[in-house]
Amino acid sequence: MRIKLTRSRDAFVLTSTKKKERFIITDIKLLIRRVRVSPSVLLAHAAALEKAPAKYPITRVDLKTFTISAGLHDKTIPNLHLGQLPKRLIIGFVSNQAFNGSYERNPFNFHHFNIIYLNLYDGSQPIPAQPLKPNFNKGLYVEAYNILFSGTGIHWKDEGNDITYEDYANGYTLFAFDISQDLSANEHHWNLQRQGVVRLELLFSAPLPEPINCIVYSEFNNLIEIDKNRNFVVDYNV
């Protein structure tokens, strides 16, 4: 197993008016948990691997970004996903300047940019059946706020996300979609894998005053397989 860590720019991790501050790492450690397995268990594992590879279900995460130029009033992303369809999608928008690193901008400020239309398509099938049409200028975005709960699987549970209705329009505007067949993206069982094309359509109330980044977080059900020779394979065809 190899781990690669990439450090962010100082302007990304720091907020400052002087724009001269630096983030200096004086010491760094990687803490790893190790388990001492009893010999009998090791022998049992080896015997089982002789018959079939070990299979571990995982939730694979994919993160994509799309730049939307200043001055655009609408945007269509035709091949948001091509191939295996995800079980969940979360979409947000940030300033391109903040995304690339700015001492004056917060890269985690998910602004709505006065979006008035958002719809996903699985082929020709819209998800959901009716597009989202929020109006943030008038404070009318309850449906968009609600899918942040339904899309993350907590709408029927006694749980919350600490994002109030007012907060949602002020830096926490995220659009979550559970696109599994039975709305079970948060459950432990799996559905049959589906192949297709996901398209995203966006419309803003006015031309964008600056370039922005559309960030798309996606979750997939997949398997990790380990054979008797300890070869590691991710199965994308489950």
CATH number at residue 162: 2.70.9
- Enter the tokens of residue 101: 């690193």
Q: Do the strands 74-84 and 125-132 form a parallel or antiparallel pair, or are they unpaired?
A: unpaired
- The per-residue pLDDT for range 5-35, each reduced to its tens digit, is 888 888 898 888 887 888 888 998 989 899 9
- Write out the residue range of the structural domain in which residue 94 sits: 10-235
Domain contains 49: yes
3-state DSSP call for residue 140?
strand
Domain contains 2: no
Q: Which of 169, 174, 191, 184 is nearest to 114 (CA)?
A: 169
Domain contains 5: no
Number of domains in the chain: 1
Decide if pLDDT at 134 tops 70. yes
- How far is 141 from 154, CA to CA, in rounded Å? 19
Q: Which one is predicted more confidently, 123 or 111? A: 111
Domain contains 179: yes
Domain contains 66: yes
- The per-residue pLDDT for range 139-182, each reduced to its tens digit, is 999 999 999 999 998 888 888 899 999 999 999 999 999 998 88
DSSP letter string, 6-73: -PPPHHHH---SSS------S------------HHHHHHHHHHHHHS-EEEEEEEEEEEEEEE-TT-S
Domain contains 1: no
Domain contains 104: yes
- The per-residue pLDDT for range 113-131, each reduced to its tens digit, is 999 999 999 888 888 889 9
Decide if pLDDT at 101 tops 70. yes
Domain contains 118: yes
- pLDDT given at position 50: 94
What secondary structure letter does DSSP report for 187? S
* pTM for the predicted model, two decimal places: 0.88
